[in-house]
Chains A and B, each alone.
Chain A
Amino acid sequence: MKIVTICGAGIGSSGILKVNAERVLRKLGVEATVIAADIASVKQVAADAQVILTSNEFVEAIGKTNASVIVIENYFDTAELSTKLEGALG
């Protein structure tokens, strides 16, 4: 399983999302690689990803993709992350 977190710079917000997603995935018992990247590289980095975690602002720029795009509102709310990840992973 590959999950990509996307923000403008590929540092900072996407890094926080990566760290918290890894925590949640560990609790859910899901094996996954989580990569933080910037929006400019989303096409390459997320080409084989199952899930993209990001903010509302980047959904349009991410565009057409085979991955499930999940918008996270509160990056520090691991309950929100957990619910949305569980939903996407079925």
Chain B
Amino acid sequence: MTLPPLPESAIVIAAEAADWRAAVTLAGEALARSGAARVGYSGEMIRMIEEHGPYVVIAPGLALAHARPGPEVLADGLSIVTLAEPVDFGHPYNDPVSVVLGLAVRTSSEHLAAVAAVANVFNDSSAIADLAAATSADEVQRIMGAVEV
């Protein structure tokens, strides 16, 4: 199980976001910087939440922003945005969110190995708080067990 690439360019620490849309946009911009997605992917991730609700907040304090595979996805990739001030997504149990993961996958069939690796990291219940408190991209990569690319 290999984590999707998480280069330094896809990590933003202590970002300012006025609301959940701004936070998801930052995660999309980070995926664009690392070459995993086109800039339009942010809008697709936002539309998923507008359409289906804040279900992407899958654990207390953590949103897994993602959209379907499609032309906006260039390569498998992960981005991580930690927020200086947590924002509400409107989730019934898991607000407010202080860590936003952006996930881009090229094909549905190949994505399970990637999310299994993500699940491995977060089944350690301290991972979200550790990420929220991280002060450098290095530290985020260390917590995620990511290999520098």
Binds A, one of B17-25, B27-35, B108-116, B141-149: B108-116
Q: Are A15 and B123 in contact (CB under 8 A)?
A: no
Question: B111 to chain A: which residues have CB within 8 Å?
Answer: 11-12, 15
Q: Are A9 and B94 in contact (CB under 8 A)?
A: no
Number of B residues with CB within 8 Å of any CB on chain A: 31
Question: B125 to chain A: which residues have CB within 8 Å?
Answer: 76-77
Q: Are B103 and A12 in contact (CB under 8 A)?
A: yes
- Which residue of A8, A56, A76 is within 8 Å of B59 (Cβ)? A76
A68 contacts partner chain B, Cβ-Cβ < 8 Å: no
Interface majority SS on A: helix, strand, loop or mixed? mixed
Question: B94 to chain A: which residues have CB within 8 Å?
Answer: 73-74
Within 8 A of A (CB), among B26-63: 48, 51-56, 58-60
Cβ distance B106 to chain A, nearest Cβ, rounded Å: 10
User: B92: nearest residue on chain A (CB-CB)?
Assistant: A56
Number of A residues with CB within 8 Å of any CB on chain B: 24
Binds A, one of B5-13, B64-72, B79-87, B130-138: B64-72
Within 8 A of A (CB), among B67-105: 67-69, 92-94, 103, 105
Binds B, one of A16-24, A25-33, A42-50: A16-24
Cα–Cα distance between A26 and B69 once the two chains are bound (Å): 30
User: B-facing mask of A46-90, CB < 8 A → 1, else 0?
Assistant: 000000000111100000000000000111111000000000000
Cβ distance B90 to chain A, nearest Cβ, rounded Å: 10
Q: Are B55 and A76 in contact (CB under 8 A)?
A: no
B129 contacts partner chain A, Cβ-Cβ < 8 Å: no
Cα–Cα distance between A54 and B103 once the two chains are bound (Å): 19
Cα–Cα distance between A78 and B59 once the two chains are bound (Å): 12
Which residues of A come within 8 Å of B, CB atoms? 7-13, 15-16, 18-20, 36, 39, 55-58, 73-78
Can you sample 10 A-B contacts with CB below 8 Å?
A7-B55, A9-B67, A11-B111, A12-B56, A16-B119, A19-B115, A19-B116, A20-B119, A36-B112, A74-B60
User: What 10 A-B pairs come out closest when comparing CB atoms?
Assistant: A57-B53, A15-B115, A8-B52, A55-B55, A12-B66, A75-B58, A57-B55, A76-B122, A73-B93, A19-B116
